[in-house]
């Protein structure tokens, strides 16, 4: 594909999905960090700017966005989405020192970088408030997230999301921690993919680590809730491990909350 076709294909078929995943993950991080001042963002491997756009939606107070992207055509597209942002067209592996920002985001980019663990440590050093890493919701993407999570927790980072505790991940293969973001497909998106459905579910794994302790939820829902007559089954991750909570209609308040809850939500 020519450069222009490649960018157009990314804009139409991938960016809506990576934007949806980043928006879901960052919305959760925002909820956890609360009013902690986040006014600047560094987005590495920014591509066409999906994660920066999502960050701007989640934190209205953001004043400064820096996007680092090595592909000049992609960074030009990012500039068009976010004309006020600083766009650095450079190879992260050649950048000696990363400018410090409140929030550092690597969305779908660490998997393209080698060795990603060392790079994650560099990104953490550049994060004044929090680092968010998002990867595809595959076993491989999850294993990268897990490694970064464990290394940075050991280095003194605090868990912000999605885990309800900084204890070792209780999931074991063939299970893995991932979430899904619903993406509405435009008609051109459907045509390009020869898809019948008007939507797709983008699967992603993520971790957010913070400089200061963050209030964590009692549990996180790690699968689509199962709805049966008078009963909702929630697969949850809690500080005591993963399990299934059965909420019956008799527990009226809990049942009402469970009816509204979805995969990825934090619950008390
Ligand atoms: C799958 S895309 C994700 C783009 C964007 N973050 C998103 O979520 O839509 C990965 C991006 O990382 C960029 N990238 C990979 N290695 C890089 C490096 N060494 N320095 C800067 N950017 C890099 C690629 O050019 C690509 O745009």
How many domains does the chain fold into?
Answer: 2
Mutation to probe ligand 1, out of 52, 74, 109 (largest number of atoms < 8 A from CB): 109
Tell me the backbone φ, ψ of residue 117, rounded to 5 degrees: -65, -45
Q: How far apart are alpha carbons 127 and 55 in whole angstroms?
A: 15
Q: Are residues 211 and 230 in the same domain?
A: no
Q: Are residues 79 and 124 in the same domain?
A: yes
Q: How far apart are alpha carbons 184 and 200 in whole angstroms?
A: 7
For the entire predicted model, the pTM comes to 0.96
Q: Which domain holds residue 40?
A: 3-216
Query: Of 104, 67, 108, which Cα lies nearest the Cα of 87?
Result: 67
Q: Are residues 241 and 155 in the same domain?
A: no
Output the ligand 1 site: residues, CB below 6 A. Answer: 15, 18, 45-47, 50-51, 68-71, 74, 91-93, 107-109, 112-113
Q: How far apart are alpha carbons 227 and 63 in whole angstroms?
A: 43
pLDDT per residue as tens digits for the range 97-111: 999 999 999 999 999
Q: How far is the CA of 133 from the centre of ligand 1 (A)?
A: 13
Distance of CA 264 to the CA centre of its chain: 11
Q: Are residues 248 and 168 in the same domain?
A: no
Q: Are residues 53 and 30 in the same domain?
A: yes
Inter-residue contact 99 to 42 (CB < 8 Å): yes
pLDDT per residue as tens digits for the range 236-251: 999 999 999 999 999 9
Query: Of 42, 39, 48, 61, which Cα lies nearest the Cα of 14?
Result: 48
pLDDT per residue as tens digits for the range 135-190: 999 999 999 999 999 999 999 999 999 999 999 999 999 999 999 999 999 898 89
**Three-class DSSP category at 53:** helix
pLDDT per residue as tens digits for the range 112-124: 999 999 999 999 9
Q: How far apart are alpha carbons 80 and 78 in whole angstroms?
A: 5
Q: Are residues 205 and 128 in the same domain?
A: yes
Q: Are residues 44 and 118 in the same domain?
A: yes
């Amino acid at each position: 594909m020519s450069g222009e076709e490649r960018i157009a294909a990314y804009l139409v078929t991938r960016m809506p999905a990576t934007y949806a995943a980043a928006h879901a993950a960052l919305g959760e991080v925002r909820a956890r960090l609360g009013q902690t001042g986040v006014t600047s963002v560094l987005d590495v491997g920014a591509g066409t700017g999906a994660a920066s756009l999502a960050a701007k939606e989640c934190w209205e107070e953001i004043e400064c966005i820096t996007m680092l992207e090595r592909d000049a055509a992609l960074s030009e597209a990012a500039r068009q989405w976010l004309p006020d942002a600083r766009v650095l067209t450079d190879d992260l592996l050649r950048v000696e020192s990363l400018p410090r920002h409140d929030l550092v985001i690597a969305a779908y980019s660490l998997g393209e970088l080698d060795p990603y663990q060392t790079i994650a440590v560099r990104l953490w050093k550049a994060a004044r408030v929090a680092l968010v890493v998002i990867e595809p919701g595959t076993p491989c993407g999850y294993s990268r997230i897990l490694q970064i999570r464990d290394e940075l927790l050991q280095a003194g980072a605090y868990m912000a999301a999605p885990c309800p505790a900084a204890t070792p991940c209780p999931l074991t293969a063939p299970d893995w921690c991932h979430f899904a973001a619903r993406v509405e497909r435009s008609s051109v998106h459907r045509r390009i993919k020869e898809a019948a459905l008007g939507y797709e579910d983008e699967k992603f794994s993520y971790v957010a680590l913070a400089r200061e302790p963050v209030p964590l939820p009692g549990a996180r829902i790690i699968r689509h809730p199962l709805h049966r007559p008078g009963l909702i089954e929630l697969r949850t991750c809690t500080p005591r491990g993963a399990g299934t909570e059965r909420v019956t209609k008799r527990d009226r308040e809990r049942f009402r909350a469970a009816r509204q809850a979805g995969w990825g939500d934090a619950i008390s």
